[in-house]
Chain A
Amino acid sequence: MANEHDQPEPVVVTNGDGELYGILAEYDTPGELVAAARKVRDAGYTDFDCFTPFPVHGIDEAMGIKRTILPLLVFGGGFAGLCGGILLQWWANAYNWPWNISGKPTWSIPANVPIAFETTILLSVFTAFFGMWILNKLPQVWHPFFRLDRFARVTDDAFLLGIEAKDQRFDLEKTTALLKDAGALDVERCFYESDPARKHMPKWISAMIVSSTAFALIPFAIAAKARNSHSDQPHIHIFPDMDFQPKFKADTASDIFADGRANRGEIANTVARGALDADELFYKGKENGDWTQGFPKNIEVTLDLAKRGQGRYNIYCAPCHGYDGKGVGPIVRRLKDGGGDWAVRNLVAPPWEPGGHVVRMPNGQLFNTISNGYATMSGYASQIPPRDRWAIVLYVRALERAANALQGDVPRADLRDMPAPQQPTIAPAGAAGSGSGSGSASGVTP
């Protein structure tokens, strides 16, 4: 309709307030508004809109508004978020800066799902939110209908239909009659100033913008001055109670106490942490100044203790030393698979063959290595309590025995699970293929 060139140019109607923008009709109920919208649509009008205090069912169809394309945009946004999230993680973790963390793969889909999920949601929501604003041509701070007092009631109880004068079909008398025929309570004309040259921003708004911009520059000006000048004044303390806290630091002076020290000595009848660990054998693995060959008296060597040791070993030691103790744990394997040289990183493969140095080590020295570390290996005293460290020592002895076992040592029933009899493995190290399978079938190993 809008493209029919034989139509005459609409007559410009003006009054003292300016040019005619359009007419606004009020209806009593949402139902009447919907019916009127249908009539206006059927009469061929396109530049009209309805204004209601709440969403009215069926009005889109009555006005001839097509379904929004927003869902498709949101789908596109979500899909872009999904791909972008995965790409970001691949680029950061696997391509640009691959980093070995406990021998885990640098690129693994399950680990990427939560972030890909979040980016999908994020871009979907952004597309929905900003897409809605853009498609609705928001934000719109002013509209000619705002000039009519009636329009203020549109957020309360008014059901309004406005037709713009620029519509090809618009004719002041006929259009007014059409709206009245549809049951309008009243039809009002709306005039506005169409000449852009006469649209002035109020002076107080201009003044506000200039002054607030000037205020916003003050912090930058202070920073610039401070960087380029010298001052003998003390620092400005924005949070003085944070900068000067009412407490003493260790080994500082204080005039509160008679001895002039902030430190207070040991309080009577208390014991400092670790002060009671006097049992050299239990806490240090030493007997008469030398590494012990046996176990402390309060450690009972039982199957349960060995199993405890197995559990601790698999948690703390196996990532580097391997489940079988042969020094090829997931981290080492990963390093070698990636072409790295483990000797360069100071990772030493423990020589486990009969007569190797671990075999020659006394129990006490093993305990000390677990506690305080050796070469690249750091100490585990803070993670593993002493009793568990002794349990690991016991399990390492069991691994040592198993590494030198013969086929005759294996119970008949367990031979079934073994891939080939020549390989004297204790337990299958990891599941087939990936690091996501379980480790050894703990519990069944007799």
Chain B
Amino acid sequence: MSALTKSLHPEEKYKAGKLGGQMTKVGLGIAVIFLGVSLVLTIAGSADPNSGHASKWARFFHAYVIGWSYIFSICVAMLWLVILHHLVRGRWATAVRRIAEAMSCAFPVVFVAGLGFVIPLLAGYEDLYYWAHHDAHDSVLNHHLHHKLGWLSPGFFAARFVIYGVIFSALASYFAKKSRLQDETGDPKISETLRIASAPAMILFSVVTCMVAFDVLMSIAPKWFSTIYGVNFWGSACIGGFAALALLVLAIQRTGRLTRSIGPDHYHDMGKWMFAFTFFWAYTAFSQFMLQWYGNMPEETHWYKYRLFGDWQWVSIAMLVGFWAFPFVFLLSRWTKRIVPSLVFFSVWQLVFHWLDLYWNVMPSYDWLEVGQGGVMVNAGPLMGNIAYHHVGFSPVDITVWLGLVGVLIFGIGRQLKGNLIPIKDPTLGLSLSHEVM
């Protein structure tokens, strides 16, 4: 007997209880262990003279930017889900929205973690962003870059970073706090208020997300241009975000909570989003590639040249097959999204490949080239050079820094998992509980 709405099952366990506290401890443990290992590996190691970096910390900080973008992207995707849900008066996601809100509210912790690379930059560290290197000001060597150095300067970058942090934290906390207020008052007008707020919030969200992608990731290769870069980052972020949401929901259900409220139909929809963004990411990634490949202008194609020839071409092929073709074909079926082991497999798979995507975006630009000019060697940054010099050059620090920052994210989410894990008085909750994918 199907019904249009359902009410919360009287025996449902929807209180977080000690769950959040346990998560913070686990997250903190992971963060301390892996970031500690990364620091030890970095301090014990030595600078790689072939990489064009004078500092042995260069690898660590490149890995840190990747890891930070990774945890940031998961929060971004969940904030997007929350805003979108209000914007379109969504129904299915009401049951998982509180968990998504908790994930998006990890923004303050994420941005504090981001200071790990922003403060060294402010202190004059030159080997992470080439635009912060003193040779970047060479106007003959860096004719195009020269004009961007007003925007790409450490002080302005740090100031923007703080502003981004404030905007994202405020947006996430606004939607989460109002939603928790509704748990107490049951006032249906709160849903209306949030719906009205969601439209400008969506515009602000889109602009700032693109700007973070431009500043933090794209400026790693500061002489390269791509206007679709932010959209492509957001697509990749949503793959990781929905995969992480599915895993967190399933993990919470294993503790006996929310087992009667969230079922295969909700798994199906989270899987559908992951599937949709798998295609969307490929679509925007190809849009970015296609125009530059067809235009064939050196100032654009150099970025792809490193990635499509030499060692990196195998990573690019792995991305095409692993991040798109394989999950796309298998997630087409409804059953791969509804059966829990299969959904877990694809979520973990896409979370790993989402990291590889960011790795692929950043690490090929790790190798900088020194060129002779007027008898002096100057650093030309990641633009120049022969592809024969470019190697994947995998380092264990790449993985340990990533896992350490994932620990930071788990810590940040754990702090927010408190009180009700489901918006108990949301007017659309009944529709969400009876949600059925036809």
User: Which residues of A are interface residues toward B (Cβ below 8 A)?
Assistant: 31, 34-35, 55-58, 60, 71, 75, 110-111, 113-114, 411-414, 417, 431-433, 435-444, 446
Q: Do A439 and B298 touch (CB < 8 A)? A: yes
User: Are B289 and A31 in contact, with the CB atoms below 8 A?
Assistant: no
Give 14 A-B contacts (CB < 8 Å), ordered by A residue. Answer: A34-B2, A57-B434, A71-B333, A411-B372, A411-B375, A413-B371, A413-B372, A431-B387, A435-B296, A436-B301, A438-B305, A443-B143, A444-B380, A446-B373
Residue contact A436 to B332, C-beta cutoff 8 Å: no
* Least distance between A333 CB and chain B CB atoms (Å): 15
Query: Does chain A have a CB within 8 A of B377?
Result: yes
**Inter-chain contacts of A414 with B (CB < 8 A):** 371-372
Q: Which of B322-376 contact A (CB under 8 A)?
A: 332-334, 371-375
A436 → chain B closest CB, angstroms: 5
* Chain B residue with the shortest CB-CB distance to A111: B294
Q: Which residue of A lies closest to B376 (CB)?
A: A413
Chain A hits for B1, CB < 8 A: 31, 34-35, 58
Q: Which chain B residues border A114 with CB–CB below 8 Å?
A: 290
Say yes or no for B183: interface residue by CB 8 A criterion.
Answer: no
Q: In the complex, which of the residues B296, B371, B438 contacts A444, with contact meaning CB atoms closer than 8 Å?
A: B371
Contact of B2 with A57 in the complex, beta carbons under 8 Å:
yes
**Distance, CA A1 to CA B155, complexed state (A):** 80
Contacts of A440 in B (CB 8 A): 298
Bound together, the chains give a CA A55 to CA B436 distance in angstroms of 12
Q: Report the Cα distance A438→B302, complex, angstroms.
A: 6
Residues of A within 8 A of B273 (CB): none
Cα A138 to Cα B124 with chains together (Å) = 72
In the complex, which residue of chain A has the Cβ closest to the Cβ of B374? A446
Q: How far does the Cβ of A426 sit from chain B's closest Cβ, in whole Å?
A: 14
For B283, the closest partner residue in chain A by CB is: A117
B141 contacts across to A, CB distance below 8 A: 443-444
Interface centre among A55, A58, A444 (most CB of B within 10 A): A444
Further contacts, 11 of them, CB under 8 A, given A75-B332, A446-B373 = A110-B290, A413-B373, A413-B377, A414-B372, A431-B387, A438-B296, A438-B298, A439-B296, A441-B384, A442-B299, A443-B143
- 8 tightest A-B CB contacts, nearest first: A413-B372, A58-B2, A438-B298, A438-B301, A57-B2, A57-B436, A438-B302, A437-B305
Measured in the bound complex, the distance between the Cα atoms of B378 and A411 in whole Å is 14
Number of CB contacts from chain A to chain B under 8 A: 83
CA distance A55 to B4 in the complex (A): 12
Q: How long is the Cα–Cα vector from A188 to B380 in the complex, in angstroms?
A: 86
A156 to B374, CA, bound (A): 85
For A71, list chain B residues within 8 Å (CB): 332-334
Q: Enumerate chain B residues within 8 angstroms of A411, measured Cβ to Cβ.
A: 372, 375
Nearest A residue (CB) for B334: A71
Q: Which residue of A lies closest to B302 (CB)?
A: A438
Contacts of B151 in A (CB 8 A): none
Interface positions of B (Cβ within 8 A of A): 1-4, 141-143, 286, 289-290, 293-294, 296-299, 301-302, 304-305, 308-309, 332-334, 371-375, 377, 380, 383-387, 434, 436, 438
Closest residue on chain A to residue B2 by CB atoms? A58
Whether the pair A412, B372 counts as a contact (CB closer than 8 A) is yes
Main secondary structure of the interface of A (DSSP, over half): loop
List chain A residues, Cβ under 8 A from B309: 431-433, 437
CB distance from B1 to the nearest CB of A (A): 6
A370 shortest CB reach to chain B, Å = 22
Q: Which residue of B lies closest to A314 (CB)?
A: B298
Interface SS of chain B: helix, strand, loop or mixed? Answer: loop
Is B387 within 8 A of A436, CB to CB? no
Q: Which residues of A contact B4 (CB under 8 A)?
A: 57
Q: Are A432 and B332 interface neighbours, CB within 8 A?
A: no
Residue in A35, A55, A58, A436 whose CB lies within 8 Å of B293: A436
- Taken together as a complex, chains A and B put the C-alpha atoms of A60 and B437 apart, in Å, by 12
Q: Quick one: given A437-B301, A439-B298, are A113 and B290 in contact (CB under 8 Å)?
A: yes
CB proximity of B375 to chain A, nearest CB, Å:
8
Complex formed: what's the CA distance from A444 to B386 in Å? 12
Whole-angstrom distance between the alpha carbons of A441 and B286 in the complex? 24
Tell me the nearest residue of chain B to A34, going by C-beta. Answer: B2
Whether B384 pairs with A444 at a CB distance below 8 angstroms is: yes
Cβ contact within 8 Å between A110 and B293: yes
- The minimal Cβ–Cβ distance linking B143 to chain A, given in whole angstroms, is 6
Q: Which residues from chain B contact A413 at a C-beta distance below 8 Å?
A: 371-373, 375, 377
Q: Are A55 and B438 in contact (CB under 8 A)?
A: yes
Chain B, Cβ-Cβ closest to A432? B309
A315 CB, nearest partner CB in chain B, Å = 9
Separation in Å of the A115 CB from the closest CB of chain B?
A: 12
Which residues of chain B are near A438, meaning CB under 8 Å? 296-298, 301-302, 305
> Shortest CB–CB separation between residue B281 and chain A, in angstroms?
15
CB distance from A395 to the nearest CB of B (A): 16
Report the minimal beta-carbon distance from B50 to chain A, rounded to whole angstroms: 12
Complex CA gap A435/B293 in Å reads: 9
Pair A436/B308 contact, Cβ less than 8 Å: yes
Q: Which residue of B lies closest to A412 (CB)?
A: B372
- Which chain B residue lies CB-closest to A31? B1
Give the CA-CA distance A385 to B343 in the complex, in Å. Answer: 61
| Complex: chain A residue closest to B434, CB-CB | A57
Whether B377 contacts A442 by the Cβ 8 Å rule is no
Of chain B, the residue at the smallest CB distance from A79 is B329
Q: How far is the CA of A111 from the CA of B294 in the complex (A)?
A: 8
User: Most chain-B Cβ atoms within 10 A of its Cβ — which of A75, A113, A411, A431?
Assistant: A431
CA distance A411 to B372 in the complex (A): 8
| CB closest residue in chain B, given A441 | B384
Closest to B387 in A: A432
Q: Do residues B2 and A31 form an inter-chain contact, with CB atoms below 8 A? A: yes
Residues of A within 8 A of B293 (CB): 110, 436
Chain A residues whose CB sits within 8 angstroms of the CB of B384 once the complex forms? 441, 443-444
Quick check: A436 and B386 within 8 Å, CB to CB? no
Choose among B305, B380, B434 the residue that contacts A431 (Cβ–Cβ < 8 A). B305
Chain B residues within 8 Å of A432, by CB: 309, 387
Shortest distance between the CB of A202 and any CB in chain B (Å): 39
How distant is the Cα of A412 from the Cα of B299 in the complex, in angstroms?
25
Most buried by B among A110, A414, A443: A443
Taken together as a complex, chains A and B put the C-alpha atoms of A113 and B297 apart, in Å, by: 20
Which B residues are CB-close (under 8 A) to A34? 1-2
- Which residue of A has the minimal Cβ distance to B308? A436
Contact of A58 among B286, B290, B332, B436 (CB under 8 A): B436
* Neighbouring A residues of B290 by C-beta, 8 Å: 110, 113-114
Min CB gap A440→B, angstroms: 7
Which of B301, B333, B371, B383: most chain A CB closer than 10 A? Answer: B371
Q: How far is the CA of A55 from the CA of B437 in the complex (A)?
A: 12
Complex interface: chain B residues within 8 A of A35 (CB)? 1
